[in-house]
Structure 1
Amino acid sequence: MRRLTTYTMLAFFLGAFIFGLNAFAGKSVDWPGYAGGSHLAVIEGTIKSIDLEKNEICFERCELLGDAPLMVTEDTACYIGDEVTNITSIRGGTEFKTSDKFDITDLEAGDYIKCNFSKKDGKYEAVRIIYTIPFINISGG
């Protein structure tokens, strides 16, 4: 009886362990609130104005920023992406290539961007900006 109980418990714990490894495939889960609430650490919207002398970007409507500008630093990385670009995930998000990089001077008012930010001294600083290009539907006729 003792041997049967030991093997049953071993099978149960081994099964739970293997299921746990398989369920998450060895990856960390993006829990809300983990790493500063990564999902909330994304701003997206249409640029109302951009001032490269002050290094500021203002959005048309942004609940998080209100009328406050988004500050751009020399460390801000800029990439070209689209609507499905995943920058909300702590792990497994979109990885960008060197060919996807572009200069901040290429942005204009009316462009739609997504960006990760950090808050320092009460100011929002852009860490990574993604210029979002809409899908173009080309149909032959």
Structure 2
Amino acid sequence: MREMELTIFDVTELNKRMKFLEIAKQHAPVGKEKLREALKQAGATFDQQTKRWQIAGDHPNAHKRVLDFVQSTRVKEKKNRATDPLRVDPVTGQSQLDDGYFEIETKPQQIIRKKVSLDLDVTLHKRLKHIALENDVKLYELVEGILQDYMRKQK
């Protein structure tokens, strides 16, 4: 179970009875390296003799979340849409509506990809790149679409 609200003090308390690696695996919302960095940034100290992390209960960062000290692209806070949709253009002084304010949030379909290396004819590769540029898609998306069409036709 991974806890998003795990605090620095919680980690040090768990570390009194559990190994750090076990805490990272079972309780932390991030991996062991990011958890270690979060503890360092929060001001926790590592005792080499006992092999345990320590932080005083009255330390200013003791009761802050681990995620407050993590730099991660995977951990994302919820967006606050309550901001003012109007902004003032610094050049003209006119109010403008923020383009993304009324944007519908959709979760993209997650596609698991496998990296593949292919040897292609040079002229075919150039033609595919040209078609991809014309259609404003990435080369791998174009090739993937062509292969999917081919597979559909084969059925």
Q: TM-score, normalised by structure 1?
A: 0.17
- Structure with larger RCO (C-alpha < 8 A, sep 6+): 1
Q: Which protein has the bigger strand share?
A: 1
Structure 1 or 2, whichever has the larger Rg, is 2
Higher helix proportion, which one?
2
